[in-house]
């Protein structure tokens, strides 16, 4: 297992053709009054690191972990402050350039692990577009929360609610000043999924920028679902390592 930025060009040249390259993608955006703005990037980065370790140690897969892309398409969070966003068009260009750079270095199998819902369409478009441009390359992508088995009362993924707050507790996150911000309480149930996906500032303002009750977060639950996702991702990496290119 290699970490891209810690490896030399010779090490990468020797490894890339027979390795799975994993690129975590996140966002820097407001997560309510209680969670870090880097929540999505932190969770994607740490999950990929753990899954890569498991894939290497348990499945014998050669994995190269690329530096996380910390910024995503988060324009819908800009009105709340604390958000650093790329437009969808800029993110598509940046992600496509990174994928092409990996391929130019010799990568043949790349997995993009996304940690932010607003990135989903962009990640899909970049992976499909770059993979279609040439032979000998396979690019896969997934939203990490799709690896979590449904649990009663847990809104997955939500935004800064019980799920993400539990996951952050599991990673040992604390605010830089060491002062924990008490998660707000919300008595109303999380919104039901709708076939028609509506985007509007009014809807985000109505829920104050977070989707469901984060006061229900539980570190033990976070540790359980983090381990579950890491194990599932490690299995997918092992399967993808056999993907013909």
The answer to whether residue 20 sits within a structural domain is: yes
Q: Number of folded domains in the chain?
A: 1
Structure confidence by residue, pLDDT tens digits, 43-91? 999 999 999 999 999 999 999 999 999 999 999 999 999 999 999 999 9
Structure confidence by residue, pLDDT tens digits, 213-229? 888 899 999 999 999 99
Residue with tokens 């297992």: 1
Which domain range does residue 9 map to?
2-150+226-238
Q: State how far the alpha carbon of 115 is from the alpha carbons of 6, 9, 43, 188, 230, in Å.
A: 23, 28, 7, 26, 13
Q: What is the DSSP letter of 28?
A: B
Token pair in block for residue 103: 């391929």
Q: What is the CATH number of the domain that holds 57?
A: 3.40.50.10310
The answer to whether residue 71 sits within a structural domain is: yes
- Whether residue 109 is preceded by a cis peptide bond, meaning omega within 30 degrees of 0, is no
Q: What is the DSSP letter of 112?
A: E
Could you tell me which of 67, 27, 71, 74 has the C-alpha nearest to residue 48?
Answer: 67
The answer to whether residue 198 sits within a structural domain is: no
Structure confidence by residue, pLDDT tens digits, 11-54? 999 999 999 999 999 999 999 999 999 999 999 999 999 999 99
């Amino acid at each position: 297992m290699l970490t891209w930025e810690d490896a030399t060009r010779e090490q990468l040249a020797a490894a890339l053709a027979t390795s799975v390259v994993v690129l975590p993608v996140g966002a820097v955006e407001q997560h309510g009054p209680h969670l870090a703005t880097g929540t999505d990037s932190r969770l994607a980065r740490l999950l990929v690191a753990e899954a890569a370790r498991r894939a290497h140690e348990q499945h014998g897969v050669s994995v190269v972990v690329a530096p996380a892309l910390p910024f995503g398409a988060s324009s819908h969070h800009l009105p709340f402050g604390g958000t650093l966003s790329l437009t969808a068009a800029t993110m598509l260009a940046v992600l496509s350039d990174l994928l092409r750079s990996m391929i130019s270095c010799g990568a043949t199998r790349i997995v993009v692990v996304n940690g932010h819902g607003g990135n989903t369409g962009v990640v899909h478009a970049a992976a499909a577009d770059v993979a279609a441009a040439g032979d000998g390359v396979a690019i896969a992508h997934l939203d990490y929360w799709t690896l979590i088995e449904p649990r009663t009362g847990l809104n997955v993924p939500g935004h800064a609610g019980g799920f993400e707050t539990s996951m952050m507790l599991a990673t040992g996150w604390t605010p830089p000043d060491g002062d924990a911000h008490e998660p707000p309480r919300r008595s109303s149930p999380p919104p039901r999924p709708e076939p028609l996906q509506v985007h509007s500032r009014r809807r985000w303002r109505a829920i104050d920028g977070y989707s469901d009750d984060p006061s229900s977060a539980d570190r033990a639950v976070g540790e359980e679902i983090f381990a579950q996702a890491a194990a599932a991702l490690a299995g997918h990496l092992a399967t993808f390592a056999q993907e013909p290119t």
